[in-house]
């Protein structure tokens, strides 16, 4: 595993999303100012082939529009309001393109990014591969491959990327593996850089210590995400050896870690 200056790192989930519209430049800038160790983002390909930032497969929840992301052109997406759902003060916030995000990132040469690919083969295999390739082409155009983790709920896409790009990218999957779409043709521990441990099948979101040890013993980093940012779950994950917390309220997590001497 890589070494880092902080014992436990913090990623801003879709930006500073507790307080700002998710997957927007204003939300990412807020997280960068804290600063966090990493930004977590979500990418889709729209109708005319542009890569845009959106978590859901439709625009319904986070904009004033309705319909699938892939059925909109970029110009049509840019007409939508991606901020008002979070509060009147965010009215008029636009859906950013991945290029706009990468341009913003030029001012933060040490910031790492967890890029979650949201187009899945189970819906359209060719579309998912093209979307992944276009996203990676932009990462390489901007010369930041060494700062990127690539994340997907599709085992097929992660294996496709690992093979096509000659093991160049640090890949992020999920544990237990049954959470992911599709079948693995190889042992994930043989090529994953990190696995996000979910306790969805347990009474608690924190998986048992043996699961963390199982992942870490293969040189794979155990990461966690807790939507409510509950400190009691931070406690359990840290006791079990978590290396990174993905948070909707990254400042809360940073303050928590600093009080315990786990973060600068």
Report the CATH number at residue 126.
3.20.20.190
In a domain, 38, yes or no: yes
The DSSP bridge partners found for residue 52 are 44, 97
What local confidence, expressed as pLDDT, does residue 3 receive?
73
Q: What is the spatial distance between Cα 130 and Cα 119, in angstroms, rounded to a whole number?
A: 9
The domain tally of the chain equals: 1
Q: What is the spatial distance between Cα 146 and Cα 111, in angstroms, rounded to a whole number?
A: 11
In a domain, 39, yes or no: yes
Inter-residue contact 17 to 53 (CB < 8 Å): no
In a domain, 3, yes or no: no
What local confidence, expressed as pLDDT, does residue 1 receive?
59
Residue with tokens 């991945």: 98
Q: Please give the residue range of the domain that contains residue 74.
A: 9-259
Inter-residue contact 138 to 99 (CB < 8 Å): yes
Maximum CA extent, the chain: 49
Residue with tokens 């187009």: 119
In a domain, 264, yes or no: no
Q: Could you list the active site residues? A: 13, 55
In a domain, 1, yes or no: no
How buried is residue 190: exposed, middle or buried, by Cβ count under 10 Å (0-12/13-18/19+)?
exposed
Which helix (H) or strand (E) segment is 126 a member of? helix 125-141
In a domain, 201, yes or no: yes
What local confidence, expressed as pLDDT, does residue 152 receive?
98
Tens digits of pLDDT across the chain (264 residues): 567 889 999 999 999 999 999 999 999 999 999 999 999 999 999 999 999 999 999 999 999 999 999 999 999 999 999 999 999 999 999 999 999 999 999 999 999 999 999 999 999 999 999 999 999 999 999 999 999 999 999 999 999 999 999 999 999 999 999 999 988 899 999 999 999 999 988 888 999 999 999 999 999 999 999 888 999 999 999 999 999 999 999 999 999 999 999 999
What local confidence, expressed as pLDDT, does residue 201 receive?
83
* DSSP assignments along 100-111, one per residue: HHHHHHTT-TT-
In a domain, 4, yes or no: no
pTM: 0.97
In a domain, 246, yes or no: yes
């Amino acid at each position: 595993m890589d070494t880092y200056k902080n014992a436990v790192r913090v990623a801003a989930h879709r930006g500073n999303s507790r307080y700002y519209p998710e997957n927007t430049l204003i939300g990412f800038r807020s997280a960068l100012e804290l600063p966090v160790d990493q930004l977590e983002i979500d990418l889709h390909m729209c109708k005319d082939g542009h890569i845009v930032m959106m978590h859901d497969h439709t625009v319904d929840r986070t904009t004033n529009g309705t319909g699938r992301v892939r059925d909109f052109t970029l110009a049509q997406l840019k007409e939508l309001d991606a901020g008002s759902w979070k509060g009147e003060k965010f009215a008029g916030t636009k859906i950013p393109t991945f290029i706009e995000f990468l341009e913003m990132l030029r001012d933060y040469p040490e910031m790492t990014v967890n890029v979650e690919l949201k187009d899945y083969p189970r819906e359209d295999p060719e579309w998912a591969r093209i979307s992944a390739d276009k996203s990676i082409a932009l990462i390489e155009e901007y010369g930041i491959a060494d700062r990127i983790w690539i994340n997907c709920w599709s085992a097929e896409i992660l294996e496709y990327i690992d093979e096509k790009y000659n093991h160049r990218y640090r890949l992020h999957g999920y544990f237990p593996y049954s959470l992911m779409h599709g079948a693995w043709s190889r042992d994930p521990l043989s090529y994953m850089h990190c696995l996000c441990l979910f306790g969805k099948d347990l009474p608690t979101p924190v998986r048992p210590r043996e699961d963390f040890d199982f992942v870490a013993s293969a040189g794979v980093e155990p990461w966690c995400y807790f939507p409510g940012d509950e400190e009691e779950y931070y406690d359990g994950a840290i006791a079990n050896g978590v290396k990174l917390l993905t948070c909707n309220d990254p400042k809360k997590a940073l303050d928590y870690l600093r009080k315990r001497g786990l973060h600068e």
